[in-house]
Amino acid sequence: MSDAILKVLVVDDEALARSRLRTLLGDCTEPPVQWCGEAANAVQAMEWLQRQPFDAVLLDIHMPGTDGLALARALRALPNPPAVVFVTAYAEHAVNAFELEAVDYLTKPVRLERLQAALSKVKRLVQSTRGLEAQTAPEVLVIQDRGRTERVPLHEVLYFKAELKYVTVRTARRSYILDGSLGELEERYASGFMRIHRNALVARHAVRALQKHHSHEPGEEGEGWAVRLNGIDDLLMVSRRQLAAVREAICQ
């Protein structure tokens, strides 16, 4: 919900009723709302919802074809369903409406104060839902790989390693190529990854051991140190500059 403005779709088969709701929405100040579209039936409503997301639908019940109750059931199956506020001239459908988890049930003619109260409920619901999603949804990397778009959960990544102009992203199952810089990744994911070398970041949770290793890398030939990670056999060199920090992280 950008800038805390609710995006609203009006669904009613009567043009005069839609016009009345548009006017009321324009008068809403708390919460602020944006009228984003209107539909005269369920088919038009679904077309709108497939084109763009809405926070709320103001939905009439008695409409030709698919009625509002049936449309509300269909909306619940959408990946990101909007909140439903029924707006109808008939009070007898209230029980069915709330069984469909409608946020509110308004009877016509709708008063501005009553509409604002309903939309305030929508706002609280949206904020709560978005907050919960932010807490529970795993962070992902979106990687373009060989003509496909891959969503790689960040918690599966064991290390990032700079290779020429690209970054290798390694999980326990496979490697990916990411177009980006190691510096940007370090800044973005500093809490979960640590720098062990000028060309490598490793997941803190994945470090299994720090061990002696004979390096053949240019400028660092000879006896040195490397980290071993859970789930893979790769050994990653640790630079002298990063050695103390890596030892400290392992001991925590």
Give the whole-angstrom CA distance, residue 41 versus residue 65. 8
Write out pLDDT tens, residues 218-245. 555 557 899 999 889 889 999 999 998 8
pLDDT < 50 stretches in the chain = 1-3
Say if residues 22 and 33 touch (Cβ distance below 8 Å).
Answer: no
- Name which CATH class applies to 2-136: alpha beta
Residue spans per domain, the chain: 2-136, 140-251
**Residue 229: per-residue pLDDT:** 92
Quote the pLDDT of residue 131: 59
Lateral strand order in the sheet of 235-238? 207-215, 222-229, 235-238
Are 91 and 116 in contact by the 8 Å Cβ rule? The answer is no
Q: What is the DSSP letter of 155?
A: G
| Residue 142 contacts residue 130 (beta carbons within 8 Å) | no
For 236, other C-beta atoms within 10 Å of its C-beta total: 22
Give the pLDDT of residue 1.
Answer: 43
Integer Cα distance of 42 and 13 in angstroms: 9
Q: Which amino acid is at 156?
A: E
- The reported pLDDT for the residue numbered 219 is 56
Q: What is the pLDDT of residue 221?
A: 56
Helices (H) and strands (E) in the chain, counts: 7, 15
Q: How far is CA 204 from CA 27, 189, 209, 249, in A?
A: 52, 11, 11, 8
Report the predicted TM-score, pTM, of the whole model to 2 decimal places. 0.53
CA distance 210 to 144: 33
Task: Return the CATH fold of 140-251.
Answer: OB fold (Dihydrolipoamide Acetyltransferase, E2P) (2.40.50)
